[in-house]
A and B are shown apart, each in its own frame.
Chain A
Amino acid sequence: MNDYGAIVGTATYTPSTLPPGQSPPANQPVAGSHGVFLAPILVVQSNYPTTQGVEDLGPTTTQNIIGPGGNGIAYITGAPAMPQLTAQIGGFSSSGMTVDWRLHMTSERPERGTKDDIDIPASSGDGASGGETGENPVGGPGVVDNEPINTPWTIDYPPTPFEFDGGTVTLYFTIKNAAGTALGPEQSVTFKIRGKNPTPSAAYNYIQEEPQGGPLGNLYYAWGIAKHESAQDPNTYCQFNANSPAEEPNYGYPDGWGIFQRDDGGITTPTEGSIYVTTDQVYSWQVNSDVCVQQELAEEWNEANNYLGKQQSRHPTQFAANPPPPYTVSGKTFAPIDVLTMERYNGAGKFYRLLQFSASTGTWTWNLPNAPRDTEPYINRVAERMTSSP
């Protein structure tokens, strides 16, 4: 064993005597003396959150993920930020040896299928830092090749929509001698990337700063939706599970993800028209919020706005005299456009069933159904969450 903990030596290989008629395997080593190494691998997160529990209060430290003291779990912080990871082989500090690195990530949530699978580097040549030699010549997962063995490999994540990702990580490495010859077959280690949640006040403040999300914005209740949708009481604003399986993405049947339970109805490609739930939305509470507030809720508010405007033009006298009434619950009074937007988000029904016009009285009345598996309309539950902030 050398000073870095690597076991280095030689071993003699002697093929076993095969029974008559049986052929040796095609990849059988050559008989004789071979180099042997058993090198320690270290995976380190430099922004490891130190807060216990699923909420992240912010402080970070440097922590082994694989190696002494490591438990095999790296974390997306509550900021949120992806884990800043390096990988290094120990034991060959100035030998001229090199390492080829690659990484594969796949979700721990089977419901996501392969949507979150990534390879780093993504393809042959992508992100390679050591020249062209040794890259995968046929495409598919790439290889960061010929990294000096005494230099940590810094794992660079791909751009959006995979800027945030997590799950089971398999880190592959091939150690090569100074002449560039692999000293053995490719080896691998696995670890997890899971996530910490923001504090409720951090999530509340961020959503309030979304366009239209503030107290005077058209979508001022967005924070109440997030709080209700992602609550795993007593925890709220859960991008990642507070309950079992803890720290994995917060999933709700059939296809709800993260802080707003973003849901695209199970579509399989972004081209199908609905607002697709990308990997970023599953692993970043901020991206999840951005898409929900700026796209989904904005679109539904505009639809409600169109509908109410149409009612005004269709029944101008009645609209002026007795406009659609506000809706009050849990001490909160919501304008008709707020009610229609929230109920449409939940999918409660067509607008004209929710807000019914009586030609005989010239008035509109609310007819809100209970939310699924509930004894109250959806908006009532959001209003309950809004009685206390964050």
Chain B
Amino acid sequence: MKIALYLIGLTLISLQCALAQSIKDPIKDPIKDYLASSDDDKDSAMPYFKTLLVLKCDVDNSGKPSILISFNGYGGRQGNFWTAYLPSGNGYIKADDGHVDLTFRRDTFFVGSVGSKYGLLAYAAGKGGGDLNFFQFINGQITEQKIGSLDLSKPQDKQEFENYFGTPPNWKSLKNYPARVLNVHDLKGAGYDPEGAIQRANVANHPLKTPIPNDTNKPGQ
């Protein structure tokens, strides 16, 4: 019993130390952190990694750019799944996305004030229109609120869409927040270890069934 209490005590102390360390030492290099961090969902897609996507935009109205990171193909029609690194001290903290998936398309997002609130507005594409999802970054946490749906056959909805996102192919977000697109070669040249991240995911993955071959001749490319 004493040993158990002692172990619990040690655990609490180390958790406190880790917390204090994270406050003291913000993340200096979000790209390094992103490549080093791992979860089951991200690992499942990592074998198809080709390019890291890095955006800079002030999503928390701090006056400093946050760093948003994802990679090719990690997501679907509604957009990539992104990790947000918010400015903190002389580095960054990873935004807590425990309750929402920060999901948006690079071609249709808006950063700024929507009504009286500040955040990132994302267009989730559906059939004939889509949803407007509003992400806020408050005290290091991400919240999401669906603030409406757009029927793009209706002129007023289309106008609202264009006000935020522009007209194809002249998307405002692609112009205002161009992504740094870093392939494996670029990342290695910058001192990162993308192949290590891919290898780590490959080791972590244990496919349930025989994978569909993906090294055959690709049509249409």
Chain A residues closer than 8 Å to B30, beta-carbon distance: none
Query: Are B212 and A218 in contact, CB atoms less than 8 angstroms apart?
Result: yes
Interface presence of B207 (CB below 8 A): yes
Query: Are A305 and B208 in contact, CB atoms less than 8 angstroms apart?
Result: yes
In B82-107, the 8 Å CB interface with A consists of 101, 103, 105-107
Q: List 13 A-B contacts (CB under 8 A).
A: A110-B169, A218-B209, A228-B127, A254-B107, A254-B123, A256-B77, A299-B48, A301-B212, A302-B211, A310-B43, A310-B44, A347-B77, A349-B103
Partner of B76, one of A228, A302, A344: A344
Question: Min CB distance, A225 to chain B, in Å?
Answer: 11
Query: Are B101 and A349 in contact, CB atoms less than 8 angstroms apart?
Result: yes
Could you tell me the distance between the alpha carbons of A287 and B43 in the complex, rounded to whole angstroms? 30
Query: Are B130 and A353 in contact, CB atoms less than 8 angstroms apart?
Result: no
User: Which residues of A approach B to under 8 Å, CB–CB?
Assistant: 110-113, 115, 160-161, 211-212, 218-219, 228-229, 252-256, 261, 263, 265-268, 270-276, 278, 280-281, 287-288, 290-291, 294-295, 298-314, 337, 343-353, 371-374, 381
Query: Are A371 and B108 in contact, CB atoms less than 8 angstroms apart?
Result: no
Stretch of B11-19, B21-29, B67-75 contacting A (4+ beta carbons < 8 Å): B67-75
Partner of A373, one of B44, B51, B151: B151
Name, among B125, B165, B168, the residue most crowded by chain A CB atoms within 10 Å (CB to CB): B125
Interface presence of B152 (CB below 8 A): yes
Interface presence of B119 (CB below 8 A): no
Question: Min CB distance, A301 to chain B, in Å?
Answer: 6
Name, among B79, B150, B214, the residue most crowded by chain A CB atoms within 10 Å (CB to CB): B214
Chain B residues closer than 8 Å to A298, beta-carbon distance: 212, 214
Interface presence of B78 (CB below 8 A): yes
**Given A267-B106, A373-B127; 11 other pairs, CB 8 A cutoff:** A161-B221, A265-B79, A266-B169, A291-B220, A301-B212, A302-B47, A303-B45, A307-B41, A308-B208, A347-B76, A381-B127
Chain B residues closer than 8 Å to A160, beta-carbon distance: 220
Query: Are B44 and A290 in contact, CB atoms less than 8 angstroms apart?
Result: no
Partner of B73, one of A275, A287, A311, A348: A275
Query: Are A310 and B40 in contact, CB atoms less than 8 angstroms apart?
Result: yes
Interface presence of B131 (CB below 8 A): yes
Chain A, interface SS category? helix
Interface size on B, residues (CB 8 A): 62
Could you tell me the distance between the alpha carbons of A110 and B162 in the complex, rounded to whole angstroms? 15
- A273-B72 in contact given A111-B169, A302-B207 (Cβ < 8 Å): yes
Chain B residues closer than 8 Å to A265, beta-carbon distance: 79-80, 105-107
Could you tell me the distance between the alpha carbons of A276 and B218 in the complex, rounded to whole angstroms? 12
Query: Are B130 and A372 in contact, CB atoms less than 8 angstroms apart?
Result: yes
Question: Min CB distance, B128 to chain A, in Å?
Answer: 7
Interface presence of B149 (CB below 8 A): yes
Query: Are B206 and A345 in contact, CB atoms less than 8 angstroms apart?
Result: no
Query: Are A347 and B78 in contact, CB atoms less than 8 angstroms apart?
Result: yes
Interface presence of B204 (CB below 8 A): yes
Could you tell me the distance between the alpha carbons of A40 and B18 in the complex, rounded to whole angstroms? 83
Question: Min CB distance, B180 to chain A, in Å?
Answer: 11
Chain B residues closer than 8 Å to A372, beta-carbon distance: 78, 124-126, 129-131, 149
In B102-125, the 8 Å CB interface with A consists of 103, 105-108, 123-125
- A253-B212 in contact given A303-B48, A310-B204, A373-B131 (Cβ < 8 Å): no
Could you tell me the distance between the alpha carbons of A90 and B205 in the complex, rounded to whole angstroms? 67
Partner of A272, one of B72, B75, B78: B72
Question: Min CB distance, A282 to chain B, in Å?
Answer: 10
Query: Are B101 and A253 in contact, CB atoms less than 8 angstroms apart?
Result: no
Question: Min CB distance, A135 to chain B, in Å?
Answer: 31
Question: Min CB distance, A239 to chain B, in Å?
Answer: 13
Query: Are A291 and B131 in contact, CB atoms less than 8 angstroms apart?
Result: no
Q: A345 — nearest CB in chain B belongs to which residue?
A: B76
Partner of A306, one of B72, B73, B149, B207: B207
Chain A residues closer than 8 Å to B75, beta-carbon distance: 344, 347
- A309-B207 in contact given A280-B220, A298-B214 (Cβ < 8 Å): yes
